[in-house]
Structure 1
Amino acid sequence: MVITPQAAPYRPDPRILALGDGFFDPVAAAAFPQTILRFRNRRWDGAVGLDTLDDAAWIDHFGRFAPLPGNLPQPLALRYHGHQFRVYNPDIGDGRGFLFAQLRDGRDRLLDLGTKGSGQTPWSRSGDGRLTLKGGVREVLATEMLEALGVETSKTFSLIETGEQLHRGDEPSPTRSAVMVRLSHGHIRIGTFQRLAYLNDGEAMARLVDYCLTQLYGESPGDAPVERLIARVVPRAARLAASYMAAGFVHGVLNSDNINVTLESFDYGPWRFAQTWDPGFTAAYFDHQGLYAFGRQAQAIHWDVVQLAIALRTLVAPEALVPALETFPAAFEAAFRDAIFARLGIAPKAEKEDMALLAGIEAALGDPAAIDRGVTIDRFFFDWRGGTLRDRASRRYDDDAFALFAMTVGGFAPATATDHPYWSDAAPCAMPIEEVEAIWARIAEADDWSAFDAKVDAIRRMGDAMRAGQVIAREGALTQ
């Protein structure tokens, strides 16, 4: 379920401290030469009671990292390990970020404010602990777009330019610097569990399982806490993978240290939005084997969850975890159906018909003739919203690739209203890499943020249209 912001007072709740010193290292933020506020998330700051901060106080907390009242007295760099492109690495942790604060939102969820680019930590290795401004801009655009498209994602909470010149091997240098703060439903990663298994620290592992269930999942551990945790993680993992596919999104680096235990998507580096349904499309130039390609993301996320189960063998016999792991394929299939139907704006019908329609959509979107006529993923879902083709686009779909889909989709009931003005636009709001680069070019060359601001506004307008009038969910449940 995608959470919408709900106004709340500021409620600090630094529960992470109960885990003990072995999970983190107290650190200090870098002293930046400048602090220029570039983005403040006015959609979410009120959900955690920070909307009353003026810009000066905002910069003091999120650019200079003065502690928030009643919260963590000092930032904490979290310790974890992880598989990076399937190679285990015990020498990683928060190397350019830290946990800054924990607080409750309007739905009583425990949320973290974590950083990226806030300076060096004991886990920085040879890195400078910094973030490029371009990287921060890209993360704002990714999180805003994913939220609008219904993916459970971290929220880019703040982006502040910091006045340093950074040198990077994969972009023109020197380049501008920034520090970013993200709002997340937890920073406990699969790699956090892997580290404890590596250390064979069963006592700490038991505390971590208890923390995740009580603080992040909001339930009692019960008599079988490990089995309960893996049973909660697996369907969420399936839903995350399915939502990526429906959004046409490629995360790029689905390492086990980049997957958190709540399965809320976060940590965006070389992401891309695929324009066509190409299972082999990759986002990271260094993903030479296509390990995290568009069509392999479900497999990758499932593999990471298996690594969680392997780590949890520190506490239970492996046979106890197998039943939950084996539910992933069916859970993904159901979640994929739900995600695609939600974006298309139609209601499920029956399993056989639903699966046939999904197969038709994938075949049609991958057809070269359709691609040649400009049928992108975004264009398709925009033109067919509610299961009916807009007159303006009919010729674009006038071929065999869409004939079967057009005939089949007519038998599905619409699940959403399409009277929001967005659906009358000439084209969908999309995020091709060329537009991302053009937005950055205007910032880099002329410090012109107008295209960036306009894009954020356009994405949020699309999100409003996606949510407006959506009244039918799976199995006829009502949602608003």
Structure 2
Amino acid sequence: MKLSEVTLSHHYADLGDAFGTRIEPTPFQHPKLIHVNPAVLQLLGINKSEAQNPDWAQLGCGQKLFPGSRPFAMKYTGHQFGVYNPDLGDGRALLLGELENGGRRWELHLKGAGKTPYSRFGDGRAVLRSTIREYLAGEALTGLGIRSTRALSIVGSDEPVVREQIESGAMLIRVAETHVRFGHFEYFFYTKQLQALQQLIDFICRRFVTDATELPVGDQAEALLRFTTRRSAELVAGWQAVGFAHGVLNTDNMSIIGDTFDYGPYGFLDDYEPTFICNHSDHTGRYAFEQQPGVVLWNLNALAHAFSAFVSVEALRDCLEEFQPQLIDAYAAQMRRKLGLQTAEDGDQALCADLLQLLTDASADYTLFFRALAHYRGERPPAALRELMPPAQHDALERWLDHYDQRLAREHSDSRERNRAMLAANPKFVLRNYLAQKVIDAAAEGDYRPLQTMIELLQKPYDEHPQHETWAVAPPESGKHMPVSCSS
């Protein structure tokens, strides 16, 4: 499909005025195209060659609209740092419409599009820094096999935007199957708009929980909660396995279909640090890396409360009790893949826990250690693994490897096949914060080559890419614990 053939529909906006406000974007006066994502073009059914179309500069900043587009600011609420906030909604983004391809419907969401009725005291803008971070993060998680929103394009400008300092404005077009958050359901529940709440439950079930389509609303809500609980358990298991910290898991940042959603002060682990806090505004550590499973369950409880108008407390509790075993099963399966284990044994959890404790004690780089382990074939001394740890931890490493060797021996697995499988489960490249900043700094000077390189690496993070070894090394000390705020 050519770009000129794109026409958007509006299933969500057509739900009615209770769901948001129709409003036009505030475009940049002098937009400049920074990047179009060919992989997302393909997802949408648009020819990759259309990445060179000059119309993107205008389409990507709202200066020109896709045919059929009716921009719509979605209304929702949510719990932020555990406190309910009724004054939320699309304060700087607009749902442009939806595009169907291959039986899947994708929503296009213009972020940084200016003020809306839900902007409160904000300016409705996004900055180049935060836009690039979100653009890269969607590709990073997708490349790692974790569900995520993605982005189609970045358009920059010379328009100044004030955050902690004056920065240049930018917009991106975010792409997701739905932008409905836990907070959408909370909004209708707390404002007692139960008919609209029922309408939204039915709308989401018709798209994603089709077995519940013709059921009464109570059964639909219960089926949806089970669906969201399972998808959320799988999602956070993926985060924990790859070492990803979201940073601000408010209920308005939780997707009803279990996508990674609303990238702000996120971070991938460098040294393995369970207490890692990537958001410098998170003074209590509510959203620390090790807290994410518990916070996601807390958020699911908030969603369940929004369904309590239609579902009994007993049924809601039964749904939520599925989260922990689903999380444990999903995480265990992913860690077995990372360790190259083909079968499950009772002692696997202890083997994994002992390794994570070793990595914690050694302040070892999480990604580099598992990548090196993927090359391990029982050699002594294990030079590549030792290099990643201080000498004081070498004896502990040897003891763990002895147990690991014994576990592998019981499977009688072929070392070459195991190594090949482990290389496909342990990435060489992750989106470290210092690398993201390197891309941002270059882009601010008008050099978009590092952005293109980073995207290519993140889309295939398990490949060797020998020409880009410098992108796979541990960060310098100055690159660790970089302060990242919600404005990021």
Q: Quote how far apart the aligned CAs of 1:112 are.
A: 1.2
1:90 partner amino acid: P
Partner Cα separation in structure 2 for residue 388 and residue 302 of structure 1: 39
2:478 equivalent in structure 1: none
Asked if structure 2 preserves the Cα contact closer than 8 Å seen for 1:250 and 1:283, the reply is yes
Unaligned runs of 5+ in 2: 466-488
Of the three residues 350, 365, 382, the one matched with 2:344 is: 350
1:362 partner amino acid: L
- Say which SS state the counterpart of residue 135 (structure 1) adopts: helix
- 2:245 is the counterpart of 1:246: no
Q: Per-residue displacement from partner, 1:146-192 (whole Å, max 9, x unpaired)?
A: 222222111121111022011112xxx32111001111121111000
Asked if structure 2 preserves the Cα contact closer than 8 Å seen for 1:348 and 1:354, the reply is no
2:182 equivalent in structure 1: 190
Q: Quote how far apart the aligned CAs of 1:140 are.
A: 1.9
Q: Per-residue displacement from partner, 1:221-268 (whole Å, max 9, x unpaired)?
A: 343111111111111111111111112111111000000100100111
- Cα distance 1:182–1:341, how it changes in 2: closer, same or farther (>3 A)? farther
Give the TM-score taking structure 2 as reference length.
0.84
Partner Cα separation in structure 1 for residue 9 and residue 237 of structure 2: 32
2:482 equivalent in structure 1: none
Deviation larger for 320-329 or 332-341: 332-341
Q: Quote how far apart the aligned CAs of 1:195 are.
A: 0.4
Give the TM-score taking structure 1 as reference length.
0.85
- Cα distance 1:47–1:132, how it changes in 2: closer, same or farther (>3 A)? same
1:61 equivalent in structure 2: 59
Q: Quote how far apart the aligned CAs of 1:436 are.
A: 2.4
Deviation larger for 84-93 or 347-356: 347-356
Of the three residues 265, 269, 285, the one matched with 2:264 is: 269
1:473 equivalent in structure 2: none
- Cα distance 1:332–1:103, how it changes in 2: closer, same or farther (>3 A)? same
- Say which SS state the counterpart of residue 156 (structure 1) adopts: strand
- Cα distance 1:122–1:303, how it changes in 2: closer, same or farther (>3 A)? same
- Say which SS state the counterpart of residue 178 (structure 2) adopts: coil
1:284 equivalent in structure 2: 279
2:446 equivalent in structure 1: 447
Q: Quote how far apart the aligned CAs of 1:91 are.
A: 0.7
Deviation larger for 254-263 or 50-59: 50-59
1:365 equivalent in structure 2: 359
2:481 equivalent in structure 1: none
- Cα distance 1:217–1:44, how it changes in 2: closer, same or farther (>3 A)? farther
1:236 equivalent in structure 2: 231
Q: Per-residue displacement from partner, 1:260-308 (whole Å, max 9, x unpaired)?
A: 1001001111111111222211111110000000000011111111100
- Say which SS state the counterpart of residue 54 (structure 2) adopts: helix
2:203 equivalent in structure 1: 211
Q: Per-residue displacement from partner, 1:415-435 (whole Å, max 9, x unpaired)?
A: 977569x89x9x932333223
1:456 partner amino acid: I
Asked if structure 2 preserves the Cα contact closer than 8 Å seen for 1:11 and 1:48, the reply is no
2:359 partner amino acid: L
Partner Cα separation in structure 2 for residue 312 and residue 239 of structure 1: 22
Q: Quote how far apart the aligned CAs of 1:394 are.
A: 4.1
2:129 partner amino acid: K
1:438 equivalent in structure 2: 438
Percent of aligned pairs sharing the same letter: 28
Of the three residues 108, 121, 124, the one matched with 2:119 is: 124
What is the alpha-carbon root mean square deviation over aligned residues? Answer: 2.7
Q: Per-residue displacement from partner, 1:309-347 (whole Å, max 9, x unpaired)?
A: 0000122222221111011111111111123234x2624
- Say which SS state the counterpart of residue 459 (structure 2) adopts: helix
1:309 equivalent in structure 2: 304
Of the three residues 389, 393, 398, the one matched with 1:403 is: 398
Partner Cα separation in structure 2 for residue 217 and residue 47 of structure 1: 22
Asked if structure 2 preserves the Cα contact closer than 8 Å seen for 1:115 and 1:182, the reply is yes
- Cα distance 1:345–1:162, how it changes in 2: closer, same or farther (>3 A)? farther
- Cα distance 1:218–1:347, how it changes in 2: closer, same or farther (>3 A)? farther
Of the three residues 213, 219, 235, the one matched with 1:221 is: 213
Partner Cα separation in structure 1 for residue 317 and residue 246 of structure 2: 27
1:433 partner amino acid: N
1:105 equivalent in structure 2: 101
Partner Cα separation in structure 1 for residue 11 and residue 439 of structure 2: 39
Partner Cα separation in structure 2 for residue 76 and residue 354 of structure 1: 49
- Cα distance 1:63–1:392, how it changes in 2: closer, same or farther (>3 A)? farther
- Say which SS state the counterpart of residue 170 (structure 2) adopts: strand
1:23 equivalent in structure 2: 19
Q: Quote how far apart the aligned CAs of 1:57 are.
A: 2.7
2:371 partner amino acid: F
Q: Per-residue displacement from partner, 1:406-456 (whole Å, max 9, x unpaired)?
A: 234443457977569x89x9x932333223223322333x32222222222
Partner Cα separation in structure 1 for residue 437 and residue 221 of structure 2: 45
2:291 equivalent in structure 1: 296
- Cα distance 1:167–1:416, how it changes in 2: closer, same or farther (>3 A)? farther
Unaligned runs of 5+ in 1: 1-8, 467-480
1:180 partner amino acid: L
